Structure 1
Amino acid sequence: MKKTGFLVLAFCAQIFFAQANRFIYQVTMKPDAANPSDIKTESAYLDVNKEKSIFYSENRMKRDSTIGRARQTGSFNFDRSQMQSLRSNIDYVIEKDFKTGVKTFKSRIARDQYSYEEDRAMDWKILPETAKIGDYKTQKAETNFGGRTWFAWFTTDVPIQDGPYKFSGLPGLIVKVEDSKGDYSFDLKESKKIAEIFNPDSRGTVMKVKRKDFEKQNAAFRKDPVSFLTSLSSGRGGGMRGENPAISPPTMRTPDPSQRKRMEERIKEEIKSNNNPIELQY
């Protein structure tokens, strides 16, 4: 009987992965710990095929599409307000390789692009509690990751052991996951078949580093973003300071002093109001 059940599950998975699938999540975030009423909400996609999955923001896809069209036409006269509206608090892409089990995190620091392989295990405790979420029968699970306690609801109705962000490893798709403080939540809103999964445009060299080195570089940027801007505008690049050779970013025009000051103030204010990251411990 058990063997028959496994065969049915394998058959269902084979049918399920005949095409790529897109799971659309609503992501709710409280990035400013000092202002919990400032709640950010946006959509993110989990694209899945039989080989891998990729998690990214909807605005990332829209921005890539806009820039791709500009490259084809040779016209880069972007509407500033349009591009500003496509900025995202989900400033990363996460790819999971189902064969190797490797999770790759990709993000920018200033103008430099980095990637690292996640090196921490995600150990789940499956709980007896169940709930109906949308059309899905789900079961609750708990894990501690990145300094937060997370509760997830997964469904075995969808034969994929994956979910949004870095979450995976439960016996079914994660329909909802939220931290115990209510700062971050991912809620499945829709799913659909797609021809192929999205391939984000990296636009340049991506530096592969260790996770700890990425976090060290990110902390340095948050502490002194002006020094990163100085190295960018002078053409020195922003690479891993004191650890890896600098890699020059795309050529950029040096702003006039007043414009530069406004840019520095804007970046400092953004960093100040983003003091509650999804991962509190590294």
Structure 2
Amino acid sequence: MKKLYFSLLAVVISVNSFAQKADKTLATITYKLSHVKDTTQRDNVIPEEMIVFLGKNTAYYTSYDRIKRDIQVRKSIEEQIKNQGGQPTSISINRTSTTPVTNVDFYFFLKDNKFFEKENLINDYLIENPLDKPNWTITKETKLIADMKCTKATARFKGRNWTAWFNPDMPFQAGPWKLNNLPGLIAEAYDDKNEVRFDFISFEKMTPEKIAELKGTDNSNVVPGVKMVALGNSSTLPFEEIKLPENASQISAKELARLKEARDKDPQGFYKTQMAARGMDMGSMITTTGRRMTVAASVPAVKFTFNNPIELPEK
């Protein structure tokens, strides 16, 4: 196991830089994802809010619910530090929710035909894949979605028959998940079995107020002298511009599978190794004051059946 950790450590340290040009973040669109993940329990569909950050030639897709959870955890930590007079000796990180959220993010560089998947295992890892584009058939059928006149398009893509409704007046060729390549912004999409649905929630321009909401920065719990370290994916969210995270490592899908295998066999040893590669311990995840503390993390142990991914093999 130690030998495996050292080989994985080499992957962690191998930080890559990427030549993808950054693109200014102009707006966001949010969707309600309804996904039948377990075909033996089709009525047990737990919705998840997803968000797409939009640039002129780029897009970034992630879980909005995961962003909100990260904000809640960070605010809980800030409150504990505040209650301990800014000199904390112990911190509890309690994730009480058992609802699963999407843990993989997508970067699209449409002009360059580049596509990256990002997954966080303490460190960010990037897998580059071909940018597959659906071959849409655009119809003459239209309907209103939140006062937007949208046009219907259909395509066979990634093992499913998709219907998408897009707004040709929006200057973005993007949408939820891996759906793109239409002359406008996709407002709604679903497959013919209704196992996967993306329903429009909101479209907002990227304003200072929207950035503050996404960061969760109301400054109510700020403690002088204590600098918080961002948790989860909040440190790489494209508030200002869409670009690949600077400290991410580009690896293959096979290498990522090995990392996950090591994590599942020995979670504690894996995370210690990952953090050591960044010169961190559990205390430095929370503050940069140099003061050591005890950190206790609690995550509900709940197993979920997941036999119906969005992307299916072609028959």
Structure-2-length-normalised TM-score:
0.61
Q: 1:61 to 1:137 in 2, by over 3 A?
A: same
Q: Is the 8 A contact 1:124 1:141 kept in 2?
A: no
CA apart distance, 1:84: 3.1
Using the aligned pairs only, state the percent identity.
22
**How many residue pairs end up in the alignment?**
238
Are 2:126 and 1:115 aligned? yes
Q: Let me know the Cα RMSD of the aligned residues.
A: 4.0
**Corresponding residue for 2:168?**
156
Q: 1:235 to 1:162 in 2, by over 3 A?
A: closer
**Aligned counterpart in structure 2 of residue 200 of structure 1, from 224, 234, 239:** 234
Are 2:109 and 1:97 aligned? yes
**Aligned counterpart in structure 2 of residue 64 of structure 1, from 64, 70, 89:** 70
- SS of structure 1 residue aligned to 2:155: strand
- SS of structure 1 residue aligned to 2:130: coil
Q: Is the 8 A contact 2:169 2:184 kept in 1?
A: yes
- Of 193-202 and 96-105, deviating more is 193-202
Q: 1:251 to 1:189 in 2, by over 3 A?
A: same
Q: Is the 8 A contact 1:59 1:88 kept in 2?
A: no
Q: 1 CA distance for matches of 2:99 and 2:279? A: 20
Q: 1 CA distance for matches of 2:36 and 2:48? A: 12
Q: 1 CA distance for matches of 2:24 and 2:313? A: 39
Q: Which has the higher helix share?
A: 1
**Corresponding residue for 1:233?**
268
- For structure 2, the residue ranges without an aligned partner over 5 or more in a row are 1-22, 215-232, 237-244, 283-298
- SS of structure 2 residue aligned to 1:107: strand
Are 2:223 and 1:217 aligned? no
Structure-1-length-normalised TM-score:
0.67
- SS of structure 1 residue aligned to 2:138: strand
Q: 1:84 to 1:276 in 2, by over 3 A?
A: farther
**Corresponding residue for 1:258?**
none
- SS of structure 2 residue aligned to 1:201: helix
- For structure 1, the residue ranges without an aligned partner over 5 or more in a row are 1-16, 240-246, 253-262
Q: 1:234 to 1:48 in 2, by over 3 A?
A: closer
Runs (4+) of structure 1 exceeding 4 A deviation are: 71-76, 196-199, 202-205, 235-239, 247-252
Whichever residue aligns with residue 30 of structure 1, its letter is: V
